[in-house]
Chains A and B, each alone.
Chain A
Amino acid sequence: MVCLSASAAPLSVCLDYLPNPNHVPLYAGIGLGLFAAQGLDVELVVPGNASDPAKLAAAGRADLALTPQINYLIARNEGLPLVTVGVYIDSSLGGLLALAESGVTTPADLAGRPIGYSLAPLEPALWMAMLGCAGVDSDDVDLVNVGFNTVTSLLAGSVDAIGAFRNVEAIQVELLGRSPVFFAQEAFCVPSAYDLVFVANPRLVRDRSADVAAFLDAVEQSIARTRETPTEALGVFVAQLPELDDELTRRSFDATLSLFATDVHRSDPTAWTDVQQFLVDVGLLADVAPFEALVAPDLATAAP
């Protein structure tokens, strides 16, 4: 049981999606008192839909939000006042997932066959790029918005591939007794991206810079602690979310451990430029903004 001091500053963080093993360090941070030690009372908010995190942070209804880097860039392009304050998962998680028995061995095999996705506009852009990279004509790409029912539609055969996380849906399919075939997005012309970053309204960063800094420090500690004692961290996660106490969570968590950012403050400007250029090329971004405009001042440390 963690005791909070009366002066703990409240901080709300909107997750990017429904709670999943990606979020273990955050829940562990709460359960193990790492945020409280920094004088913070952190509340994790589950979003109603995929566009909520960016909206809530921009509108000030949540202090911070977790969101894919690409989603952040698109939101900012739509005029939402947001900056990135830290990096949570600094490599790509996504790609296309198919079933071995459908005979798909390369992305080129998906020409003319339905591909299901749930997060627009991000996913359509990514999968179009991947298939284009594999030599498929854009007219032969059939994308279907299937909401949150990606795995069901893949298993039922309604679609031949889905946009998926390598550490979640691929394992889920395996656990259900089928053979997954996964194509990593960075292997097919999609620049490596930070798959999850923390964003906030610049006004909040200015007004509560100390709290934000404390939060990021705590997250970094929590990630390190999770790597040191993964069983304990997972146990704390599952204690707060008992409905996720299953084999999928465990396997998925194992696959995710290596993907958390070691240094949440570190961010590579070149990577930001590459990603933005990719988005400009596929028409999702108007132009490439300078690194300083996108990240909070504290994040200006470039990777070596």
Chain B
Amino acid sequence: MIRKLLVSALWVVVPLGAWEAAVRLAHVPAYILPAPSRIAVTFVEQSSMLARHGATTLVEIALGLTIASCLGFLLALALHAFPSFERAARPFLLASQMVPVFAIAPLLVVWLGYGIWAKVVVTALIGFFPIAVSESDGLRSASQSAIDLLRSMGATRRQILTKLLLPASLPALFSGLKLAATLSVVGATVGEWVGARRGLGFLMLEANARLRVDLVFASILMLTLIGLLLYVALRIIEQRALRWREAGTAERA
């Protein structure tokens, strides 16, 4: 256990050490690339400001991710329930994902203003496709023999959905959620770059303009922590929802 922690720590410490050494040896100025030590100091000094802005971005992410989850899930259900709709909608769905969300973010801001909702929509747009696709695949993951079994018991279509297809889709859904969570951090930040009064993306813009690159990195660090927090939270929920899977692996271990 200690060994595993040490190995993980090494993965963090070694690149940081190399970065620190490189910056010092090459005398890279702080306004081009600050050393990790400088970033750490800034992070601590500005922690309350970072936390304040972080809270704003976190709210945007949480709202966006929630909306993305609901919409993505519902879309997957609709695609499952209406195969003709799926055939018709598929090309549009794919095309919609080719448009970089960042390109339409400025338009969203014009329509929705500089408050929280433009960022929430950008975040939701980025997150909903991975969730819809994962859940859609998940709904198709049940074996034909399991479906046959339920049909042979006289199960209605609805019962097959609730007792078989939906529970079978959960592992895939969680994969999609974890992916969407990571993307949501990017979405909220980019939404803020287009126009904002606060948030970590906003802070990065202001800090960069003021040539405080250390603060830019400290903001990035904060964003990373938020992303990690989300991932861990999802993992915990996943472990509780899928405790049957954990039980199986525990037995084998």
Contacts and interface: CB of A to CB of B under 8 A. Distances in A.
Tell me whether A and B are bound partners.
yes
Interface of A: 49-51, 54-55, 58-59, 74-75, 78-80, 114, 116, 119-122, 142-147, 149, 152-153, 156, 158-159
Contacts of A156: 110
B195 A119 contact: no
Given A147-B195, A153-B195, A158 B208 contact: no
A80 B211 contact: yes
A143 B109 contact: no
A283 to B, nearest CB: 12
B80 interface: no
Contacts of A50: 209
Given A55-B32, A78-B31, A153-B110, 5 more contacts: A55-B31, A78-B211, A120-B210, A149-B106, A158-B110
Given A58-B31, A145-B205, A159 B114 contact: yes
A119 B206 CA distance: 8
A122 B202 CA distance: 15
B30 A79 contact: yes
Contacts of A51: 208-211
Interface of B: 29-32, 106, 109-110, 113-114, 193-197, 202, 205-206, 208-212
Nearest to B216: A51
A121 B195 CA distance: 15
Contacts of A145: 195-197, 202, 205-206
B195 A116 contact: yes
A75 to B, nearest CB: 6
Which has the most chain B C-beta neighbours within 10 Å: A54, A58, A147, A152?
A147
A119 B31 contact: no
| Top-3 shortest CB links A-B | A120-B209, A146-B195, A120-B206
